[in-house]
A and B are shown apart, each in its own frame.
Chain A
Amino acid sequence: MPETTIAKTRPKYLDLIQIRLPLAGFVSILHRVSGALLFLFLPVLLWLLGSSLASAESFERFRDVVSHPLSKLVLLGLIWAYLHHLCCGIRCLLLDMHMGVEKNASRRSAVAVLVVSIAATLILGGKLLW
C-alpha cells in the first residue's frame, strides 16, 4: 500500500501553559467557564428560588442563607457568571449575524464584554447583596 499520509511537521502549541490566547479567545473560554459554573450551581439556585417563594418562613430562611458572607461571595461569582455568559452570548449572536467580525471591532467587543460584565456585577452585587 502506498504512503497516503505525510506527517505534518509544523509545530502545534496545545500546551495550555504555552498557549497565549488573544483577548477574544480569553473572553470566549470564560464563556465556557461561566456556563459550566452556572450549570454546576443550578441545583443551589433552584433551591434558593424555591425557598424564596414557598412561604414567609422559608423566605426568612432564604434571607439568612444569602446574607452569610460566604454565600454572598458565591452569589457574586454566579452573578458575574450569568452576566459574562449573557454579554458574551450577545456578542456571539452578533458575530453570527456578521456584525463586528473585523479584527478591531471584534477585539473591541471582547473588551466590552469583559468590562461591562464586571462593572455590572459590581453594581448589581452591591445593590442586591450589600
Chain B
Amino acid sequence: MVKRIVVGAHYGFRDWLAQRITAVVMILYTVVFAVGTASLERPGFEEWRALFASGFMRFATFLFFVALVYHAWIGVRDIFMDYIKPTGVRLALHVVVIAVLVGYLGWAALILGRL
C-alpha cells in the first residue's frame, strides 16, 4: 500500500473525472455519427451537408468538439507532465496547447455556424 500525504484540493480527481465524462460524450457522438453516416442514401455533398445541418447534429457536433478540446488538453498536459522536465518549457508548451485548442474550438464553431 502506497502511503501518500494528500494535500490541496481534489488532487487531480476533477481532471480524472472530466477525462472520463468527455470520453463518454465522444463515444455517444461517435455512435450517432456512425449511424447518421451509414444511413446516408448516397455519398455526395448535399447529403453530407444535410447530415450536419440539422439543429440536433449541430448541437451534438459542437458538444463533441467541446469534449474533444477538454479531453485533449488533459491528455496532452499529462504527456508533457511526464516527459518535459524543465518547468519553463513545460509552461510555455501548456500555453501553446491551450491557445491552439481554443482556436480549434472557434474554428469548429465557424464551420458549424456557416452551415
On chain B, which size bracket covers the interface?
20 to 34
Contacts of B72 in A (CB 8 A): 35, 38-39, 42
Type the 1/0 row for B49-72, where 1 means its CB is closer than 8 Å to any CB of A: 100100000000000000000001
Output the least CB separation between A62 and chain B (Å): 9
Give Cα A27 to B46, complex, Å: 39
User: Quick check: is A46 within 8 A (CB to CB) of the other chain?
Assistant: yes
User: Quick check: is B27 within 8 A (CB to CB) of the other chain?
Assistant: yes
Contacts of B6 in A (CB 8 A): none
Contacts of A89 in B (CB 8 A): 23, 27
Q: Which of A27-41 contact B (CB under 8 A)?
A: 32, 35-36, 38-39
In the complex, the chain A residue whose C-beta lies closest to that of B44 is A59
A56 to B23, Cβ gap below 8 A? no
Give Cα A56 to B45, complex, Å: 6
B residues near A, CB below 8 A?
20, 23-24, 27, 30, 45, 48-49, 52, 72, 75-76, 79, 100, 104, 107-108, 110-111, 114-115
Output the least CB separation between B106 and chain A (Å): 10
Q: Residue A32 contacts which of B20, B24, B79, B111 (CB distance < 8 angstroms)? A: B79
Instruction: Tell me if B's interface is mostly helix, strand, loop or mixed.
Output: helix
Output the least CB separation between A97 and chain B (Å): 10
B30 to A86, Cβ gap below 8 A? yes
A42 in contact with B24 given A36-B79, A52-B48, A56-B45 (CB within 8 Å): no
B104 to A93, Cβ gap below 8 A? no
Contacts of B49 in A (CB 8 A): 53, 59
In the complex, the chain A residue whose C-beta lies closest to that of B71 is A35
User: Quick check: is A65 within 8 A (CB to CB) of the other chain?
Assistant: no
User: Which of B72, B76, B111 is most buried by chain A, counting CB atoms within 10 A of its CB?
Assistant: B111
Give Cα A62 to B86, complex, Å: 41
Q: Please give me the 4 A-B residue pairs with the lowest Cβ-Cβ distance, nearest first.
A: A59-B45, A50-B111, A35-B75, A56-B45
B108 to A46, Cβ gap below 8 A? yes
